[in-house]
Structure 1
Amino acid sequence: MRRARILGLWLLAARACANACDDGECEQPDATGLVQVTRKAKANANEAAPTTPDFGPNVIVLEPGVASSAIEDRLQSLYEQYISWDEDAQFGDHRTAILLKPGEHQVDVNLWYYSGVHGLGVSPEDVIVKPGLRGEGLRVEQQPPSYPGGPLLPNTNTFWRTIENVHVAQGKLDFFVSQAAPLRSVKVDGNLHLSAGGSDWTSGGALMNSDVSGSIVTGTQQQWYTRGTLMRPYDHPAGQGSYACISCVDRESGLPFYDSWNFEQHQPDQTWHSGLTYMGAPEVFAEKPYIFFQEGQYKLRIPEVLEKHAGPDWQSGSTVGFDKVFVTKAKTTAAQINTAIAAGKHIVFTPAVYYLDEPIVVNHPNTVLLGLGFATLIPQKLPIFIGRGVIEVGNVDGVRLAGVFVQAGPMDSPDFSKAVGALVRWGKPEEPYAGTKSNPGFIYDFIARVGGPDHEPSGVGNMLEIHNGWVIGDNLWLWKADHCVSNSGALCIPQRYVNHCLVVNAENVHMYGLMAEHANDDIVVWNGEKGKTFFFQSEFKYTQGEVSKPWTWQKVPHAVSYRVNAVDHEAVAFGIYAVVLAEWADDDKTPMANVWMQGGFSAIAVKDTSTYRYGFKDISTLNWNGAWPVESRINCKAWAGSTGSCLDSGVATPR
């Protein structure tokens, strides 16, 4: 009788849950007949108390103090599960953000794929991190062996992890990373080590808005981008790319570093590879928005636009309560996001993979779209995306896209008439908009990816298109995958299609820390005047595709890494590489077609010779193997359309 009564109560509770939750996702009552809080109820609770957001299951919020053994074990378990180069780790759907509330934390975190540590202070000094129970602290170490007892692996694939807005007070910070692994708004006591040295090899990376009391030990880093940081000088020039520092301050003198290059003096022919570049403060800049916790409430800080500001900025800006912020969940739809944007709300994407059924459209000025834990947006294969952007920003000022990862969806063949137009389209191609210098658009820590996790062909027309003026980028990695789930080494099957990584069609677009790789046509196409790129890393694609499937190739007779169809352009600290000859896929069974271009590659192409002679400084172009055929390597450092000839043939070959 009691059992029947309990069952009756359970059924009544279940009906109540079903009636109260119209999306069919209510949690079921437990065995005692007590109904757990439903997702609908949680949503209503958030509406009633918007300053206490529900960040979902992939966010770990830690109170200050010594992390318990249970927390340490959980963090170590996540590391062990998601650190390897295999499919489930490097290309899995897991996403994690660790939020540290203000105070002193004693915790050990060795970051894994798609993980980030974010301090919740107003400034980095509000969240102090020291070693926890294991005595290891916060770090990214050298990649562990692929099998027990094997050698440590290089960190060339150490992507998709971040540390932000904390004071690392543990004597040093090891941060052995490559691209898409930003270190932002941190205070480091002691040295910052960017590689393990020796057998390690790293291809990073980005440090921004920070303070390092010791030395920055670059080690084997191929290149590195730093901006707005109080630091000591780099320890040596880069061997292949460049170590660049934009708007940095020498902690010995307290003064900004002296500019390596002076564009106002109009000095020609400074395109040799110096490997070390210091440049002054940007004309205008604002730091990345972030979440902080104060007086029991979560808030969003939107830093101020500053002119010619050198060094870090940890104080400026306005504060927005979370009643003005829409926090997404894994099943949040694009329509819900668009409704929130139209209502004037900012968007925080919690860590998850979002499969969108329509573009996200931003037509409201000053909107912030902030991603946590490498939140990833993927368009579904639907007609609504053909020719459009996954994210579309209209002709409005002050939009800030921060920490968002956009990935291409399925694409059957190199027929771009049926493809998604762009992963991000900033502005309207048919309606040019000059933008506003006092309130630019900003793109921070942006990742675009074509291929990698896919078991079927994928693609997009272009990764990033910018049609509005006064848009500023800070640490972008635009990557067509050169290794995938089926081929973890140097090659990918199936095909990945993309015309260009970046297309700029507006004036006054500035890129600080731009990394773009493997597009099938020109990697970067710059059509707007008064453009700037300070620090650029790029690599040509490796192969055309499978020999047996020539109909899948995207045939391009001639392509370059960086094409400028404007005259007024500044470009500093470039590293452009070719790794193009590969005859077999990793299984040694699938013949691959070598990349072939008429006359070989040109690293850079300019419309007018003066653009290259006066506008380009510290440029490295390099073939990793000089034995490749002429048609499969870089033969010209810079080509001029006005003369139809090679301006500069200074291409290096290290081996």
Structure 2
Amino acid sequence: MAFVLSMVALPARAADYTQGVAVSGNTATIWFKSNVSTTWVDVHYTVNGGGQLNVRMTYSSANARYEQPVTAPSGTVLNYSFTYNNGTPAYDTPSFSYTVGTTQPPTGTICFYENANYGGASFCADASSSWVGSTWNDRVSSVKVTSGYAVDLYNDINYGGSTVRLTADTPNLVSLNFNDIMSSFKVGTNSTLPTSDTPDFGPNVSVFDTSTPISTIQSKLDAAFNAQLLSPTAQFGTQRYTFMFKPGQYNGVFANLGFYTSVVGLGQNPDDVRLQGTLNVDSGWNYGDTANATQNFWRSAENVSLVPNGGTNRWAVSQAAPMRRIHIIGNLHLGPSNQGNGQGYSSGGYIADSKVDGSISSGSQQQWYTRDSNIGIWYDGVWNMVFSGVVGGPATTFPSPPHTALATTPVSREKPYLYVDGAGKYRVFVPSLRTNSSGATWANGATPGTSIPMSQFYVAKPSDSTATLNLALSQGLNLFFTPGTYHLSETIRVTRANTVVLGIGFPTLVPDNGVDAMTVSDVDGVKVAGLLFDAGTVNSQALLTIGAAGSTASHAANPTTVQDVYFRIGGAVAGKATNSLVVNSSNTIVDHIWAWRADHGSAPTGWTVNTADTGLLVNGNNVLATGLFVEHYQKYNVVWNGQGGKTIFFQNEMPYDPPSQATWRSGANGYAAYKVADSVTSHEAWGLGSYCYFNVNPSIHADRGFEVPNNANVKFHSVFTVSLGGVGVIDHVINNTGGPAQGTSTIPVNVVSFP
């Protein structure tokens, strides 16, 4: 990194010196030993917080160092720093602190090497912080760390830029994307964070077992729902509710699931928890939109079996409301109770790794994606019903009815989930990777995979600092986020292969002061699931980044997965983020995301208020997306630069609010929803729709919904555009193929295959 010399004292270089305090009786001798051409040293010190003394130190020939004695009985706190010369320039060290009578950290706590595997030139530093200087700037390739200590590396001077924490010897910084870029560092002790196999999940989580009276369970469910019913603040509120059921049977459980509400079974398989009653979501609940279910966001049901009251369960949800690992012993209806007669619209949705013994009726759902499940039969379809690996699902008949079916899902790994073992201890189960999969993982027995004890997780609470979260990761722990809102003062950095970062109950991560919320290194097998990233009021370049820019390693045998992860730009606050999700690592699986630039909220929204360019930016090769919901971004909603990408299901609304044609884009009419870069030679996608509703300026046109290279190996199946109520026009579906989507009849323009 660049740095500038000045005529004032410069930051000290760690390789220049060692220092410490030697104690004999009631005398503490502050000492400084130079490794460079030093002819004088000044020490600046305080005793027990008193006034600062500035003294020219005396050189001791016997000890070959500069010294300053201080009367200091045991318990005295000395704070001190040095100014020294190396030829003409003067240098200031950082401040140090020592309490007389305690053990000083060993000299050489951290050692830095210019080559991998601790080769080449080196220097060491003790428990302090320092700029490395011109000699070592951008030169470190490996680091040795004394047990009990940690070092934070920074790629800029003054502890700025990107950072990584090391708590053990690291023979090669390439794997952490930090080779030859360190410009400053901080050294400290490596405290151990507490873990437990029976953790406290916080006040927003209720855990029930079969000894809990049903009346108590029902009372808690009702209280959570009634507090939100027709509330003007619920949709963007801070309330979070997670209801967890230990194995057993529960009769008469009637759950209405409002915003940020989750019902979770704690068995290892769904049939271990049996509910008799309902898991109900319907229209008529939301302030300002009682006629529809199009704002039934941010709720979930997972890992339970349900015997529906009356034989049919209603799940009339929209985006960010998944059903995973659910066994419906009966029928499932996905439309609201008032559908028809110009009302009761719904805009979901997602089901995976589930079984429905009877029928599924999608009703008024505009679109839906079902993956790797077993169903009795599927009825209905409005615009875009997509299935991959669904046993009992319909065949491809797009556009009439609008069903698109793949017999298998190319690659899948189900989301990690929490459960309780036979000893009453909590564990997280990580299902195995599958290729060409179909049907639920538990359809013919227990889900294959790996069980991780909860003692290998740090259970995060909203009061935790970002430094604490990064410390947990640096200690080799996984992260488990409990429900609540987390303000991030720095980036959460996931650097270890196979790390699990799992949330329950819609934990909401808010980056403050323009930091990126989370980065994942280009390593194997990281699982990020169950999180809501909510952009802060200062623009972030990205909310979540998978892999460093330029990553090329293959992760085909053990890809990183991003599942049930949601991105929100605006709504709760006037959020800003240039990109929501950036995928640089090859073979990443993006399985069910909703990236949403808000068109409404409790905070103001607008073209210059909650700004965001792109929802998903893919640079890695052979990335698979299963279930993309990306809406309202101001440029291309999805940009795909990597080779060999695949998308199964895509739902999009273009931004509602371009104020004018020229404002949206100069030289063309708007941006396509989904852009495959001109350099891409292989890409394939199934079941994609883009909608427009330009209500700020209904005269707006978009040239096309999808913009792709003209190449025989870039293939699109079942793709369409539609103008909602004729408010604006999309002139073509894909490139210049397909006529204009326009008119008040809201009829899609379909392209069965392209090219």
Is the pair's TM-score, using the shorter chain for normalization, greater than 0.5? Answer: yes
Q: Is 2:638 the partner of 1:497? A: no
Q: Is 2:755 the partner of 1:651? A: no
Q: Distance in 2 between matches of 1:192 and 1:534?
A: 23
RMSD: 2.5
**Partner-residue secondary structure (3-state), 2:225:** helix
Q: Is 2:442 the partner of 1:322? A: no
Q: Distance in 1 between matches of 2:557 and 2:215?
A: 49
Match of 1:246 in 2: 388
What does the per-residue CA deviation read over 1:311-340, in whole Å, with 9 as the maximum and x for residues that have no partner? 011311111111101100111122111121
Q: Is 2:438 the partner of 1:310? A: yes
**More displaced 10-residue stretch of structure 1: 271-280 or 498-507:** 271-280
Match of 2:235 in 1: 90
Gaps of 5+ in 2: 1-190, 747-755
Give the letter aligned to residue 144 of structure 1: W
Match of 2:305 in 1: 167
Match of 2:222 in 1: 76
**Partner-residue secondary structure (3-state), 1:647:** coil
Q: Distance in 2 between matches of 1:623 and 1:228?
A: 31
Deviation for aligned residue 1:200: 1.3
Q: Is 2:280 the partner of 1:139? A: yes
What does the per-residue CA deviation read over 1:258-287, in whole Å, with 9 as the maximum and x for residues that have no partner? 8639xxxxxxxxx96761011122332211
Deviation for aligned residue 1:172: 2.4
Deviation for aligned residue 1:307: 2.0
Q: Is 2:497 the partner of 1:361? A: no
Match of 1:15 in 2: none
Q: Distance in 1 between matches of 2:606 and 2:375?
A: 40
Q: Is 2:378 the partner of 1:378? A: no
Match among 186, 200, 203 for residue 347 of structure 2: 203
Contact persistence 1:509–1:531 (CA under 8 A): yes
Q: Distance in 2 between matches of 1:208 and 1:64?
A: 27
Contact persistence 1:210–1:230 (CA under 8 A): yes
Give the letter aligned to residue 306 of structure 1: R
Match among 209, 228, 250 for residue 105 of structure 1: 250
Q: Distance in 2 between matches of 1:110 and 1:610?
A: 49
Match among 723, 731, 737 for residue 623 of structure 1: 723
Match of 1:607 in 2: 709
Asked which structure has the greater CA Rg, the reply is: 2
Q: Distance in 2 between matches of 1:193 and 1:258?
A: 16
Match of 2:567 in 1: 448
Give the share of equivalent positions with the same residue, in percent: 31
Contact persistence 2:730–2:740 (CA under 8 A): no
Residues 145 and 58 of structure 1, relative CA distance in 2, 3 Å threshold: closer
Deviation for aligned residue 1:420: 1.2
What does the per-residue CA deviation read over 1:536-591, in whole Å, with 9 as the maximum and x for residues that have no partner? 1001111136x9xx99x765653110111122111111121001133xxxxxxxxx
Match of 1:571 in 2: 685
What does the per-residue CA deviation read over 1:346-404, in whole Å, with 9 as the maximum and x for residues that have no partner? 1110000101000111110001111110001000125xx2xxx3110111010011111
Q: Distance in 1 between matches of 2:480 and 2:390?
A: 30
Match of 1:20 in 2: none
Match of 1:480 in 2: 597
Match of 1:301 in 2: 429
**Which structure is higher in RCO with an 8 Å CA cutoff and minimum separation 6?**
1
Q: Is 2:434 the partner of 1:434? A: no
Deviation for aligned residue 1:169: 1.5
Residues 321 and 475 of structure 1, relative CA distance in 2, 3 Å threshold: same
**Partner-residue secondary structure (3-state), 1:234:** strand
**Partner-residue secondary structure (3-state), 1:296:** coil
Q: Distance in 2 between matches of 1:544 and 1:651?
A: 18
Q: Distance in 2 between matches of 1:508 and 1:427?
A: 14
Contact persistence 1:408–1:449 (CA under 8 A): yes
Give the letter aligned to residue 621 of structure 2: E
Match of 1:216 in 2: 360
Deviation for aligned residue 1:105: 1.7
Matches within 5 A, 1:337-416: 337-382=469-514, 385=515, 389-411=516-538
Residues 225 and 397 of structure 1, relative CA distance in 2, 3 Å threshold: same
Q: Is 2:293 the partner of 1:155? A: yes
Q: Distance in 1 between matches of 2:286 and 2:709?
A: 48
Q: Is 2:319 the partner of 1:179? A: yes
Match among 621, 629, 638 for residue 507 of structure 1: 621
Q: Distance in 1 between matches of 2:465 and 2:314?
A: 39
Contact persistence 1:544–1:594 (CA under 8 A): no
**Partner-residue secondary structure (3-state), 1:195:** coil
Matches within 5 A, 1:538-557: 538-544=652-658, 557=668
Residues 84 and 63 of structure 1, relative CA distance in 2, 3 Å threshold: same
Match of 2:126 in 1: none
Q: Distance in 2 between matches of 1:594 and 1:568?
A: 36
Contact persistence 2:607–2:657 (CA under 8 A): no
Q: Is 2:640 the partner of 1:526? A: yes
Match of 2:92 in 1: none
Give the letter aligned to residue 299 of structure 1: R
Deviation for aligned residue 1:159: 0.4
What does the per-residue CA deviation read over 1:23-44, in whole Å, with 9 as the maximum and x for residues that have no partner? xxxxxxxxxxxxxxxxxxxxx9
Q: Distance in 2 between matches of 1:481 and 1:432?
A: 31
TM-score (norm 2): 0.68
Contact persistence 2:575–2:611 (CA under 8 A): yes
Match of 2:672 in 1: 560
Contact persistence 1:448–1:479 (CA under 8 A): yes
Q: Which has the higher helix share?
A: 1
**Partner-residue secondary structure (3-state), 1:55:** coil
Contact persistence 2:730–2:742 (CA under 8 A): no
Deviation for aligned residue 1:153: 2.4
Q: Is 2:531 the partner of 1:420? A: no
Match among 458, 466, 478 for residue 334 of structure 1: 466
Match of 1:467 in 2: 584
Q: Which has the higher strand share?
A: 2
Number of residue-to-residue matches in the alignment: 539
Gaps of 5+ in 1: 1-43, 132-136, 251-256, 262-270, 412-418, 583-592, 640-645
Deviation for aligned residue 1:463: 0.6
Contact persistence 1:82–1:113 (CA under 8 A): yes
Residues 320 and 595 of structure 1, relative CA distance in 2, 3 Å threshold: farther
Contact persistence 1:143–1:158 (CA under 8 A): no
Deviation for aligned residue 1:216: 0.4
Q: Distance in 2 between matches of 1:554 and 1:367?
A: 40
Matches within 5 A, 1:268-283: 275-283=402-410
Give the letter aligned to residue 140 of structure 1: V
Contact persistence 1:120–1:292 (CA under 8 A): yes
Deviation for aligned residue 1:144: 3.1
Residues 180 and 499 of structure 1, relative CA distance in 2, 3 Å threshold: same
Match of 2:418 in 1: 291
Match of 1:191 in 2: 331
What does the per-residue CA deviation read over 1:394-415, in whole Å, with 9 as the maximum and x for residues that have no partner? 110100111111011103xxxx
Deviation for aligned residue 1:310: 1.1
Q: Distance in 1 between matches of 2:525 and 2:564?
A: 17
Give the letter aligned to residue 385 of structure 2: Y
Q: Distance in 1 between matches of 2:319 and 2:394?
A: 27
Give the letter aligned to residue 429 of structure 2: R
TM-score (norm 1): 0.78
**Partner-residue secondary structure (3-state), 2:628:** strand
Q: Distance in 2 between matches of 1:648 and 1:453?
A: 38
**Partner-residue secondary structure (3-state), 2:691:** strand
Match of 2:204 in 1: 58
Give the letter aligned to residue 80 of structure 1: N
Q: Distance in 1 between matches of 2:391 and 2:471?
A: 43
Q: Distance in 2 between matches of 1:482 and 1:461?
A: 17
Deviation for aligned residue 1:234: 2.1
What does the per-residue CA deviation read over 1:569-616, in whole Å, with 9 as the maximum and x for residues that have no partner? 11111121001133xxxxxxxxxx56746xx3310001225356xx11
Q: Is 2:731 the partner of 1:635? A: yes
Q: Distance in 1 between matches of 2:647 and 2:527?
A: 19
Residues 438 and 79 of structure 1, relative CA distance in 2, 3 Å threshold: same
Deviation for aligned residue 1:208: 0.6
Q: Distance in 2 between matches of 1:375 and 1:423?
A: 15
